[in-house]
């Protein structure tokens, strides 16, 4: 082959290779363009999706705003409807009043016409009839004034008697707790009281019927129970066990039996001491024993024996101020809550239990009446019974004498207001003075002066029937007539 031919062949081969290379380059470049286009398309699609999502959210917000606007419009529409109804009711009432006025005018005209045609005697009789009605009204007004004056004087006299009685007697008050504290010689005794695998503390709690609390407080354990008598026995048993040093179930039972026998004797001696101090012998032994037991009974945190002694002495002072039998008032005051010594062991309320007990042991009828009357089961029939009722309220109502948990207090006050509001004509009712008074506001258009006393009485009776409360609750009903006009 000649060099020329070889050269031509090489040229053609070079051209072919160049063409292939350019073809491959163009294809790769096309792929790059294609990828770039797809990437841009994805970006555009994502931006479009975001824009669509934003538009949808804005649309939802607009829809919510429209819904809120519709609700506001509905509320305004309802308010306007209510106002229109109120206006229509007022117009209807005004029309009724106009009709009544027309009827009264017609009636008066007819009466005048009738008078004009009366004889002298008929006119005289009619005039006397009118004057009788006026005199009757004047007498009623004068009677109300006299009754009001008598009430004021009576209240002054009663307050004076109360002040004199309370001034002569001022007893200290000590509230009862639900926990007794026992001091131990060392923390080692805690382990001995608990015993192996809790054997001793289980035996103590089961036998004594109390909760024994052993916590991290050094040298102290707590005995908890609502029953003061049971808690006192438990406290004494544990103290003696600690002093003895031998703590096991057998020893626990032995000491418990001894303490029970001693306490039975102790409560009789306590009752006997009270009777001797007050000079109220003779009294049946069972009543004396139950009086001693009242030392281990509490009501609303107030020790029942101390409360009974306070009521007895106040009753004596009040009876003296009112000219009653001081000795009998003292006896009735001491025994007025005797039934509370039995309520934890027998069914029934302390009033019926106490009255039955005193009747059984031939106590004076006035004592029995005082027991019934101090909670409103009967009316007080004598000065002595009334003195006991008053003294019981004074003892229970003075600050700090009685305690209630907040929840039960709130519930009772709400129920008090609810009862008052359930009566027709009552517009508002507010419990005040720690629940010892309910102030009731009466609609003067529905209840007149004559009905006011009856309504107040019915509210008080309904409270007595539906609520349990210490002391008394004053029902204070207020009826007012108001007229308003504007000067322009």
Note whether 354 and 302 are same-domain residues: yes
N- to C-terminal Cα separation, the chain:
135
In a domain, 261, yes or no: yes
In a domain, 430, yes or no: yes
In a domain, 217, yes or no: yes
In a domain, 190, yes or no: yes
CA–CA distance, 433 with 469 (Å, rounded to integer): 14
Note whether 386 and 436 are same-domain residues: no
> Which of 367, 397, 427 is a domain's end point?
397
In a domain, 289, yes or no: yes
| 3-state DSSP helix/strand/coil % of the chain, to nearest 5 | 70, 10, 20
Note whether 308 and 259 are same-domain residues: no
In a domain, 158, yes or no: no
Note whether 301 and 356 are same-domain residues: yes
* CATH number for the domain harbouring residue 328: 1.10.3210.10
* CATH number for the domain harbouring residue 439: 3.30.300.20
Which domain, by its residues, includes 474? Answer: 406-480
> Which of 266, 295, 327 is a domain's end point?
266
Q: Is 471 exposed, middle or buried (0-12, 13-18, 19+ CB in 10 A)?
A: middle
- Global pTM reads 0.49
Burial pattern 264-290, b for ≥16 Cβ within 10 A else e, equals eebbbebbbebbeebebeebeeebbbb
How many independent structural domains does the chain possess? 3
The sheet carrying 437-443 orders its strands as: 426-432, 437-443, 474-480
Give the 3-state secondary structure of residue 301: coil
Residues 6 or more apart whose CB falls under 8 angstroms from that of 92 comprise none
* CATH number for the domain harbouring residue 203: 3.30.1370.10
Note whether 389 and 433 are same-domain residues: no
Note whether 324 and 361 are same-domain residues: yes
In a domain, 194, yes or no: yes
> Which of 266, 291, 322 is a domain's end point?
266
Note whether 388 and 412 are same-domain residues: no
In a domain, 98, yes or no: no
pLDDT in tens, the chain (488 residues): 577 788 777 787 778 787 777 777 777 777 777 777 777 878 888 887 888 888 888 888 888 887 887 788 788 878 878 888 888 888 888 788 878 877 877 776 666 556 555 565 666 666 566 656 656 666 566 666 666 665 655 555 555 555 455 545 545 444 445 677 888 888 788 888 888 888 888 878 777 777 788 877 788 888 876 677 888 888 898 888 888 888 888 888 888 889 889 988 888 999 999 999 888 888 999 999 999 888 888 776 678 888 889 899 888 888 888 888 999 999 999 999 898 888 767 777 889 999 999 999 999 999 999 999 988 888 888 989 888 988 888 777 655 555 544 446 556 777 888 898 899 888 878 776 557 778 788 888 888 877 888 888 889 888 888 887 766 788 888 886 655 565 65
Torsion, Cα of 304, 309, 312, 317 (10° steps): -130
Note whether 297 and 379 are same-domain residues: yes
Note whether 334 and 384 are same-domain residues: yes
Helix axes 304-322, 285-293, angle to 10 degrees: 120
Note whether 311 and 373 are same-domain residues: yes
Does a cis peptide bond (omega within 30 degrees of 0) precede residue 255? no
Asked whether the beta carbons of 417 and 473 are under 8 A apart, the reply is no
């Amino acid at each position: 082959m000649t060099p020329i031919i070889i050269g031509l062949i090489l040229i053609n081969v070079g051209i072919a290779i160049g063409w292939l290379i350019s073809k491959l380059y163009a294809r790769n470049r096309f792929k790059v363009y294609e990828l770039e286009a797809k990437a841009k398309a994805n970006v555009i699609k994502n931006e479009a999706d975001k824009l669509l999502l934003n538009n949808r959210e804005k649309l939802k917000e607009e829809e919510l705003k429209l819904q809120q606007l519709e609700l506001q419009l509905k509320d305004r529409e309802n308010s306007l409807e209510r106002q229109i109804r109120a206006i229509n009711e007022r117009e209807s009432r005004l029309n009724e009043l106009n009709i009544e006025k027309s009827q009264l005018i017609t009636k008066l005209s007819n009466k005048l016409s009738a008078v004009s045609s009366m004889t002298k005697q008929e006119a005289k009789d009619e005039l006397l009839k009118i004057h009788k009605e006026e005199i009757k009204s004047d007498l009623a007004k004068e009677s109300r004034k006299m009754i009001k004056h008598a009430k004021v004087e009576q209240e002054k006299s009663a307050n004076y008697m109360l002040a004199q009685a309370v001034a002569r007697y001022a007893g200290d008050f000590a509230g009862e707790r639900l926990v007794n504290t026992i001091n131990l010689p060392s923390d080692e005794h805690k382990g001995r009281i608990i015993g192996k695998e809790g054997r001793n503390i289980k035996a103590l709690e089961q036998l004594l019927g109390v909760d024994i609390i052993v916590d991290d407080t050094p040298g102290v354990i707590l005995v908890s129970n609502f029953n003061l008598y049971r808690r006192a026995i438990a406290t004494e048993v544990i103290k003696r066990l600690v002093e003895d040093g031998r703590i096991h179930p057998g020893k626990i039972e032995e000491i418990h039996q001894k303490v029970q026998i001693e306490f039975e004797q102790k409560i009789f001696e306590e009752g006997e001491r009270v009777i001797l101090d007050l000079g109220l012998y003779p009294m049946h032994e069972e009543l004396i024993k139950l009086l001693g037991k009242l030392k281990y009974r509490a009501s609303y945190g107030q020790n029942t024996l101390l409360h009974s002694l306070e009521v007895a002495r106040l009753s004596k002072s009040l009876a003296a101020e009112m000219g009653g039998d001081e000795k009998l008032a003292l006896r009735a005051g001491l025994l007025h809550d005797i039934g509370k010594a039995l309520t934890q062991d027998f069914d029934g309320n302390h009033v019926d239990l106490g009255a039955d007990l005193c009747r059984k042991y031939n106590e004076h009828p006035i004592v029995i009446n005082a027991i019934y009357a101090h909670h409103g089961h009967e009316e007080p029939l004598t000065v002595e019974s009334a003195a006991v009722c008053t003294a019981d309220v004074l003892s229970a109502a003075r600050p700090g004498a009685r305690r209630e948990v907040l929840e039960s207090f709130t519930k009772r006050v709400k129920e008090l207001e609810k009862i008052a509001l359930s009566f027709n004509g009552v517009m508002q009712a507010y419990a005040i003075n720690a629940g010892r008074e309910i102030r009731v506001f009466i609609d003067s258009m529905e209840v007149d002066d004559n009905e006011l006393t009856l309504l107040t009485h019915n509210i008080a009776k309904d409270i007595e029937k539906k609520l349990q409360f210490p002391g008394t609750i004053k029902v204070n009903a207020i009826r007012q007539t108001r007229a308003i006009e504007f000067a322009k």
